[in-house]
Structure 1
Amino acid sequence: MPDPSTRDTTTTVVLLATTPAARLSCGDGTLLDRIGDQLAGPPARDVQVVTPGGGLGADLRGVAKIARTATGAVAMLPADLVAHNEALALLLEHPARDTGALVSHGVTAGPTRPPVRVEGGKIVAAGSSFHVVPEANATFRGVLQAGGADLTTLADVAEELAELADTGKLGPVTPAEAVDLLLVGLVRTGVAVRAAWLGPLHADRVAGQHAADAAVAGLADVDEAKVRLDTAVKADDGFFATYFVSSWSRHLIRPAAKLKLTPNTVTGISIGLALLAAVWFSAGTQSGRLAGALLFYLSFVLDCLDGQLARYTRSFSRLGAWADGMSDRLKEYIVYVGLAFGSADPGIWPLAVAATILQVVRHSIGYAYGGAVSDAARSGATWGRPPRSLQEPADARHGPGLLRLAERMDSRTIARWFKKIIVLPIGERTALIAVTAAVWNARVTFLALLCWGGVAALYQLAGRIARSKR
């Protein structure tokens, strides 16, 4: 099994042509031909077709074999799927190459649309004809991808499910449910499965010629170009970024693409504007603080735009991801220095240093926890991947009361925004710095950062502790 740290970005696609519907007529070929053509384009993909023969157990063991030898993410989808190109891209061309599944809101569950429950952007319960999902709020639409770090778990799950299916312990499941069962297995073994929302796009499995014809015809009802632009903007961003930046920065995406600007170029310009903001802040005048506040805001706009442009053009790179994350910290700390230099307050530098240390600690809380969970998952630690039985037909909620309260808040719009704001994300910090510096002075800015940042740190720490006990 290759080391996950050495995996490349090539996605292996397992196309399950195990149902008669895969041979239904579609244009000049079949549904299998159609989806094969869709998968033939970039990025680089290794498409492996699993044909009927041997039953569900054999199909699952085939998936396990591919997962154990793959050098990148592995995507699994049925050949009887009729979907927009953009729908497939939500997973297959996502920059993270992570573990995720295509899901949809507000669609009645059925044999080809098993129920799932999504909380906090992750699938926390998944169903099949055997597995029940209480309080389901979405449906799975047939496309599942396992990131490189989760391939060993995928292979283990596939082999365990194959054994259970062969011995009849999963009831009358059929080869048509192979992907559904794999999703159930990944979720129940504790893998973090990102919910990739389908939105207005179509992705439907079909069982007959009439349904296939209707599904293909229905694809024309959606403007994929518009959806591509819409999905370039983060759907789950912070309050300030959503309403005061992305509401208009989206109109810059296509012009930037036409000018052939790269995301890294936009990141560089963003850093330049932050440097200019720090210079104006260092002047120590009211007009200087106003100019600095405006430049710092525009710097954040470009910080959002670089990600939007990357998602729109699908021009992702590891360097770009690293540069984007580093630039956020760099710009913020440079502005701290500019504000401190421009203040005549003799006690401003201790406040600036304290604000910097607090931000470093807050980021450490988040990254250290994520790294610990990832390391535990790779090493097989039970607390990193809590075992759950694949034979239990029902799935129940569990977890500490604090965590369940936080999850319930996600279902209420006002509470959900409160949760986002209280952690003082980069958008809210930008607004806080810009407004307090422009209206008052650097001392007020640093005191505001320390007070709000302290509350955010305690909230984050409590959340990490609660999740670690889940």
Structure 2
Amino acid sequence: MTRVVLLGSSPGPDTAPTGLRLAALPGTPTVGERLRSQILSLDPQPAAIEPGDTAAALRALAEVAESTTDNLLLLPDNSIVHDELIYQITKAKRAALALVAKEPRPEDAPDDEPVPIEEAEPEIGERTLEGLLVRVRAGKSRVISVGTAQLAVTRPNTVLLGPLHLQAKHLPVLAETCRELAELTHLFGQEDDLVQLVVFGLVRKGVSVGIRGRRDLFYRRVTTQEEANEAGAEISGMDEDRARLNNAVKGADGFFTTYFVSTYSRFIARWAAHRGLTPNQVTLISIALGVAAAACFATGERVWMVAGGVLIYFAFVFDCVDGQVARYARKFGVLGAWLDATFDRFKEYVVFAGLAVGYVVSGHSDDIWILALVALSLQSVRHLLDFSFGISNRRKPPSPLPTTPLDAPSDVGLRKALEKRKIERSTGIRGVLRMWTRAGRYRAVHWARKMVVFPIGERFAVIAITAAFFDAQVTFLTMVIWGSVAACYTLAGRLMRSLAS
């Protein structure tokens, strides 16, 4: 469940922008009517905070944070936004996430900034972007610092568009921060946005506030009928369903899955979802194809081995489709997650058995069973290590960020603390891990790292190709050799991360 707080329109003239009509949309709803219908599934009775008195608004927000145990979504009430964007923001893994827009880099700007960020002088941001003052410094993944009308920020480059999602664990900090900010309103200006002030306080309290852009979705605040007309026309001309479909595909898949499956599997997922197929039903199709592939491999005949390779490929395709259907249709369940995780292993192991049987019945030595058991055991141990590391990693508390007083005149102290933290985390094992992470910016290294861990897509591709063109012995040798390299690589990485924490 998510508690929604609608923030009164700020900054901007008090012209009741929620009553503006969106003539370009079906039914010509008002901005307020459309937004309330969109958040109905999240919170049937959203809290509302009126604009005007900043101190009163901050105290009201503190009361809301103290009165709920649910996640919190702050949303300006003059927002025009895609449903899919609201969904993505509220379902993100980040404990705190803000929607932002970064200033576009001038085309004639030099490749390097003229002054290193650590040497730049803090400033009171006076530039505007989309009607908001640029008073936020953001990095690649999170907000670094925020300023106000009287508190300077170093080289601001971003505006907070409005939506801010906080998981329940941050609500005590939010309540405390809002009450403290309410006593410091003399340091703010009328043009300081309420969301900006909240993020300002959270960041100075050491909360990591992640960022994301609109990407292929729409968000805008409106304060006049002209802006509402423009926004309505723009949003009506965008294909939200296509964006939703694209977002149903995992962004961190392996090379084979990305280029040989996800390029078209999303369209199968949409077809299945529109015809009422559930993710669990798609999972059963995948299981059936996997068992059929094993049966083909068990014959040992070349034509059936080729057929088995085709079937195991499509078993993997539908294994991807079931998750895409779940994300596209927003149908999630514990049973589905269990089926997906369990029967991925089942398909793999039953195919191992089919390959071994086919190798023996075609007149080869039954020593193949030794290779099959080695491949199965290696894969089982890898899955056990993956599961145990994931559990322990989730229990590890995040590394704390530095804090600074809310009334500090600039972010210099905060930035010095961040620089010190960066230096400390750039030595020893942490330094090696940091360098390896940064190397992932290069495309070749990125995909090499994806493939070396031998993800499920690459495993099913190896089975399909080697079984179709060679025999089970080649399949198992490839699985064992590549799997061993992957096991050594991942084990070394996890040991280093454990020692660095």
**Partner in structure 2 of residue 350 of structure 1:** 370
Given candidates 463, 468, 476, the residue that maps to 1:433 is 463
Percent sequence identity is 33
**2-structure distance, mates of 1:376, 1:460:** 19
The verdict on how the C-alpha distance between 1:333 and 1:324 changes in structure 2, with shifts beyond 3 A counting, is same
Task: Give TM-score scaled by structure 2 length.
Answer: 0.76
Conserved 8 A contact 1:26-1:34: no
**2-structure distance, mates of 1:350, 1:459:** 24
The verdict on how the C-alpha distance between 1:317 and 1:59 changes in structure 2, with shifts beyond 3 A counting, is same
Given candidates 260, 269, 274, the residue that maps to 2:290 is 274
Write out per-residue CA displacement over residues 92-114 of structure 1, whole angstroms, 9 at most, x where no aligned residue: 4x497976544567757954674
Given candidates 6, 20, 32, the residue that maps to 1:26 is 20
The verdict on how the C-alpha distance between 1:241 and 1:61 changes in structure 2, with shifts beyond 3 A counting, is same
**Partner in structure 1 of residue 403 of structure 2:** 389
Conserved 8 A contact 1:432-1:445: yes
Pairing 1:359–2:379 present: yes
Cα displacement (A) at 1:117 = 3.1
Pairing 1:463–2:493 present: yes
**2-structure distance, mates of 1:51, 1:300:** 52
Matched residue type, 2:39? L
The verdict on how the C-alpha distance between 1:140 and 1:326 changes in structure 2, with shifts beyond 3 A counting, is farther
- Structure 2: which 5+ residue stretches go unaligned? 22-27, 106-127, 406-412
Cα displacement (A) at 1:417 = 1.8
**Partner in structure 2 of residue 90 of structure 1:** 88
Conserved 8 A contact 2:375-2:476: yes
**Partner in structure 1 of residue 147 of structure 2:** 129
The verdict on how the C-alpha distance between 1:43 and 1:55 changes in structure 2, with shifts beyond 3 A counting, is closer
Pairing 1:235–2:233 present: no
Matched residue type, 1:310? A
Q: Which of 210-219 and 250-259 deviates more?
A: 210-219
Given candidates 63, 75, 78, the residue that maps to 1:77 is 75
**2-structure distance, mates of 1:224, 1:316:** 21
Cα displacement (A) at 1:189 = 5.1
Cα displacement (A) at 1:134 = 8.4
| Secondary structure at 1:235 match in 2 | coil
Q: Which of 413-422 and 14-23 deviates more?
A: 14-23
Cα displacement (A) at 1:401 = 2.0
Cα displacement (A) at 1:89 = 2.4
Conserved 8 A contact 1:270-1:303: yes
| Secondary structure at 1:13 match in 2 | strand
**Partner in structure 2 of residue 62 of structure 1:** 63
Write out per-residue CA displacement over residues 374-400 of structure 1, whole angstroms, 9 at most, x where no aligned residue: 2344xxxxxx44353154543444632
Pairing 1:451–2:468 present: no
**2-structure distance, mates of 1:55, 1:290:** 71
**Partner in structure 2 of residue 307 of structure 1:** 323
**Partner in structure 1 of residue 391 of structure 2:** 371
Task: Give TM-score scaled by structure 1 length.
Answer: 0.80
**Partner in structure 2 of residue 51 of structure 1:** 50
| Secondary structure at 1:75 match in 2 | strand
**Partner in structure 1 of residue 7 of structure 2:** 16
Conserved 8 A contact 1:13-1:76: yes
Cα displacement (A) at 1:126 = 4.3
Matched residue type, 1:26? L
Conserved 8 A contact 2:286-2:319: yes
**2-structure distance, mates of 1:135, 1:332:** 51
Matched residue type, 1:178? V
Q: How many residues in Structure 1 have an aligned counterpart in Structure 2? A: 440
Cα root mean square deviation, aligned: 3.6
Which protein has the larger Cα radius of gyration, Structure 1 or Structure 2? 2
Alignment of 1:40-439 (within 5 A): 40=40, 42=41, 47-52=46-51, 53=53, 54-55=55-56, 57-66=58-67, 69-70=68-69, 72-92=70-90, 94=91, 100-102=97-99, 107=104, 110=129, 111=132, 114-118=136-140, 123-129=141-147, 141-147=161-167, 151-152=168-169, 154-162=170-178, 164-166=180-182, 168=184, 172=188, 176-178=193-195, 181-182=198-199, 185=202, 198-206=214-222, 210-344=226-360, 345-377=365-397, 384-389=398-403, 391=405, 392-394=413-415, 395-396=418-419, 397=422, 399=425, 400-439=430-469
Q: Which of 440-449 and 402-411 deviates more?
A: 402-411
- Structure 1: which 5+ residue stretches go unaligned? 1-9, 378-383
Matched residue type, 1:434? A
**2-structure distance, mates of 1:128, 1:49:** 25
The verdict on how the C-alpha distance between 1:419 and 1:390 changes in structure 2, with shifts beyond 3 A counting, is farther
**1-structure distance, mates of 2:46, 2:179:** 26
Cα displacement (A) at 1:304 = 1.0
Cα displacement (A) at 1:436 = 1.6
**Partner in structure 2 of residue 380 of structure 1:** none
Cα displacement (A) at 1:80 = 3.4
